Amino acid sequence: MANTPQAKKRIRRNEKRAEINGNRIGRIRTFVKKVESAVEGGDKAAAAEALHAAQPELARGVARGVLHKNTASRKLSRLTKAVAAL
């Protein structure tokens, strides 16, 4: 158990940051799922539009530190490849 005031504050801060980061990751997943569902549906126009919306979200996740840059790059590459294959 934390005894010092700064350790207690750190615990409070970590809980807040974990919630915020979880929301950010959830938002990114939602955008990625929209692209994936459009690809499964075979709608190239909707998939391209969803990909266009997902790209800055992935970049924002990297900038905020919730995603590694290579992870975001890999996801974006795979989504782009899937949309192009339609």
Class of CATH domain 5-84:
mainly alpha
Half-sphere exposure of 37 (CA within 13 A, CB side): 8
Each residue's pLDDT tens digit, 27-73: 999 999 999 999 999 999 999 999 999 999 999 999 999 999 999 99
* Alpha-carbon gap, residue 3 to 10, rounded angstroms: 11
User: Nearest CA to 60 among 29, 33, 34, 24?
Assistant: 24
pLDDT surpasses 80 at 1: no
Domains of the chain: which residue ranges? 5-84
Measured between alpha carbons, how far is residue 33 from residues 18, 23, 75 in Å? 22, 15, 11
pTM of the model: 0.86
